[in-house]
Amino acid sequence: MTITSGRVLVAGATGGTGRRVVDLLRAADGDVVVRAMTRDADSESSLRERGADEVVVGDVLTPDDAARAVDAVDAVVCTLGSSPGIGTLTSDFADGEGTKNLVDAAAAAGVDHFVLVSSLGVGDSAPGMQLGLRLLFRGLGVLPAKARAEAHLRESGVTYTILRPGGLTNADATGDVVVGEGGDTVSGSIPRADVAGLCVASLFTPAAADRTFEVVARRGLRGTPEGVVDIDWQTAPAAARPDPGTEAVEESESAD
């Protein structure tokens, strides 16, 4: 991809982070083609109204649907997430097996770059999530599913960027994030809008290739960060700039 052209699949496009990724890609100058994937046929019209050029209706838990979604795309931004609940104990995870299906399809299709939104609390970033929530999400199987998806992506041969955000909020983007690398690095919260901005910037930032980052907003930082890295992120679209008048509302410690 280049900063002005390419076809990007947004998987999880109806979620809180995925919607913002669609917005940012649509706001970008140039000829970026935005393909959104949803398993809900009723969401197709709203995704098109939001700016998606193409909509694929399918379920990532079905390998054929995943293959259809990645056909002819240059990059994938995967923001799939599972809502914690009793159902997660007895069913496959969109952000586990579903993401693995999407990775396999991307590898087979020769996709250039795969950006995965994971979560603090996964793998060696476990200390970044508060203990009570970590035990809950681990017990429900959400964190292990995300860990398997991360490992599968790293082993796939596809160029990747993995983002592990802290607690997600619906505040406007701050434009000021703390990026750690190495697992036990940062803790805190971050607006979905900031995560979306990093997803888009990762596509055009060579220094982000084949790396895993833990990310929180500076104003949502808890404790003293370790392993902080300075990444020269390529400029995100104007829609990602902060609106200081909006208050943060924390909803979840798990990416959606």
Q: What is the pLDDT of residue 68?
A: 97
pLDDT tens-digit series, residues 74-92: 999 999 986 654 444 434 6
Q: What is the pLDDT of residue 17?
A: 95
Say whether pLDDT at 23 is over 50.
yes
Q: How confident is the model at residue 2 (pLDDT cuts 50, 70, 90)?
A: low
Q: How confident is the model at residue 132 (pLDDT cuts 50, 70, 90)?
A: confident
Strands 75-78 vs 31-38: parallel, antiparallel or unpaired: unpaired
Three-class DSSP category at 229: coil
Q: Sign of the CA dihedral 205, 207, 208, 209?
A: positive
* Residues 3/152/158/236 CA torsion (nearest 10 deg): 10
Say whether pLDDT at 134 is over 90.
no
Element (H, E) at 113: strand 113-117
Q: What is the pLDDT of residue 256?
A: 56
pLDDT tens-digit series, residues 172-194: 999 999 999 999 999 999 999 99
Please give the single-letter amino acid code of residue 222: R
pLDDT tens-digit series, residues 193-251: 999 999 999 999 999 999 999 999 999 999 999 999 999 988 644 333 333 333 333 44
Q: Which residue has the higher pLDDT, 220 or 136?
A: 220
Size of the chain in residues:
256
The full set of domains in the chain, from first to last, is 5-252 (3.40.50.720)
Q: How confident is the model at residue 133 (pLDDT cuts 50, 70, 90)?
A: confident
User: Whole-angstrom Cα distance, residue 180 to residue 212?
Assistant: 9
User: Whole-angstrom Cα distance, residue 87 to residue 47?
Assistant: 27
Say whether pLDDT at 254 is over 60.
no
Q: What is the pLDDT of residue 95?
A: 85
DSSP secondary structure of 22-47: HHHHHHSSSEEEEEEEES-GGGHHHH
Both tokens of 216, joined, read 């929180």
